[in-house]
Amino acid sequence: LRDCEQVDIKYLSGWKQWKRTSSKSMKKVLNYVKEWLSYLELWRHDIHSIEGIYYLMLISVLGSCFCCWLNFIIFILMFSFVTLPAVISKYGIFNSSFTKISPKNIEPYCTVYNPSGNKGLVYFYTYLKDLFSGTGFLEVTSLFYGYYMIDAAWFSVLRYNFPLAYLLATFAYLALSLLWIIKRSVEGFKQNLVYSEDQFQSYCNKIFAGWDFCITDPNAARLKHRSLLYELQRDLEEERLRQKIADRTTKEKLRIYTLRTFINIIVFAVLSVCFYSIFKATAFSQANSDGISIMSFQANLLVQYLPSVVITLANFIAPQIFWFLIRFEDYSPVFEIRLTLMRCVFVRLANIGVLLFSLFSSISCTTDECEACGYNYKLYPCWESDVGQEMYKLMIFDFFIIIAVTLFLDFPRKLLVTHCSCKPVQWCGLPEFGISDNVLDIIYGQTICWIGTFFSPLLPAVATIKYFIIFYIKKISLIHTCKPAARPIRASSSNFFFLVVLLLGLILALIPLGISIAHIPSSKACGPFRNFNTSWAVVPDTILEFPVSLQQVLRGIASEAFAVPFFVVICLVMFYCIALAGAH
């Protein structure tokens, strides 16, 4: 083929010969660049080393990698449009300045905000407490909402609408997360469609077309061999379970359905206990926050972290109960993980919801004391920073728990099983790498980050560092202290399910964010929205500055006369796409 091309080139003009040669050279350069960039991919070598040994555990690993990149991009977004303009304008860098307008038609004491920053000589443990709880010196930094008390930043003659930028940056990181998750979910959705089409097709693909003949390295071949072997084990296991379900008698079905109903009642009781405990712990912590200064260090830290401790205990105990109960419900391995994951996700996300509900109930009280400022100023002078501190504490505490479980549970258990021949120890054996638990940790931490970023703009940076460290902790734990799951599970469908549950976490995060932005009155003592009744009020206020014609266009788009026909057209387009997909 090369000789034929060389003969053809002789009959081409000089311009066409140069064009063809340049095209080939450019393709070679692009291939070299692409190959070189692949070596810069985060955790590339680590992911390939894990893939062949523990193929399914790759879901948790890739989840950490995805969330690490996502949080890093969210941090860049918030830092560029929120933190950086505030810092530059406050210190007058690049001939910049800022405008600070005091709220009007409000009681003067509602505008006073005196953070509990450490002054004078303080003990070292006070700094540790502040570092872990977000109070003291951290409360007055750019980590939290209360630092950004700017109404406008001026760069030479350009005016930067800081409140609008803060709100738009929040919408931008939520929209970015939504689009990125959907984009990654599409590939898994396609694979699920192929697998659900014909089971025999899956065997044929693996046996006759599963091998990659570009592999020349023995180690890479060994990894690929293990991956294919694992996939075949999973297919055979699912086939055996389908046959078992098909052979059930009516009596066996009745017994199983009765047992499942009873187990679901127990699950509901466990959820109720978790929610009630979190509600009472949050109420106790907030009620005793005034007396923190006179407590000892240990009691102080316990009161500060009481909601986080109770939530972490609920997140640890409830999944263990669910994982124990699911064994008696006789589901397939894939459905076991999905159902347990859904129950545990509901526990974790609902726990955050209960915490925020109790906080919001205390913030937006209806007593006479709250009427002057519009919210509970006495307990929460800057309630957005308080919510940000709770999210910060949840993230820090979750990080410490993951490290503690690995160091003080998994490694000692590994040493005992390796060096102790006692029957009880050997019966316990090495721990399995819990896919559901590790995926839950990722989804839980990411939901906290989504909610907390509005109240703590630099929280994504903390989350990025957290996921980066956790990746290596989990990798060491996976390789040195854990064993593969005893029952094979399809990795591709589970990866798709992880993204779906992560999308559910994002949707649930929108609820408290929407309530705090559009419903709860903004703090009058801190933050960029001091001069607005709510954070959302900056949008109509900005629209009023537009030309009259543009205002009319925007009002028309927001009216029912535009929304209803637009909804009908979207439904027709969706119906057409569904019909077209069915025809194909």
HEC assignment per residue over 514-549: HHHHHCCCCCCCCCCCCCCCCHHHHHHHHHCCCCHH
Neighbours of 321 (CB within 10 A): 15
CB neighbours of 126 closer than 8 A, spacing ≥ 6?
A: 118, 136, 297
Three-state secondary structure call for residue 577: helix
- What per-residue confidence (pLDDT) applies to 75? 94
Q: CB burial class (10 A; 0-12, 13-18, 19+) of residue 401?
A: middle
pLDDT tens digits along 524-579 = 888 888 888 888 888 888 888 888 888 888 888 877 888 888 899 999 999 998 88
Rounded to two decimals, the pTM is 0.78
Judge contact between 459 and 24, C-beta under 8 A.
no
**Among 38-47, 268-277, 338-347, 396-405, which is the least confidently predicted range?**
38-47
Decide if pLDDT at 59 tops 60.
no
Highest mean pLDDT, choosing among 21-30, 191-200, 390-399: 390-399
Q: Which two tokens stand for residue 396?
A: 């820090």
**How high is the pLDDT of residue 121?**
52
| Percentage above 70 pLDDT, the chain | 80
Kindly state the average pLDDT of the residues 161-185: 89
Q: What is the DSSP letter of 150?
A: -
- Residues of the chain with pLDDT > 90, as a percent, come to 9
pLDDT, tens digit, for every residue of 88-109?
Answer: 877 777 566 665 666 666 777 7
CB pairs under 8 A, 24+ apart, for 318-325?
318/270, 318/271, 318/274, 318/343, 318/344, 318/347, 319/343, 319/344, 319/347, 319/436, 319/437, 319/440, 321/266, 321/267, 321/270, 322/267, 322/270, 322/347, 323/434, 323/436, 325/263, 325/266, 325/267
The angle at the Cα of 466, spanning 460 to 472, to the nearest 5 degrees, equals: 140
Whether residue 484 has pLDDT greater than 70: no
- Structure-block tokens of residue 390: 């709770």
Angstrom distance (rounded) from CA 60 to CA 507: 21
One-letter identity of residue 471: F
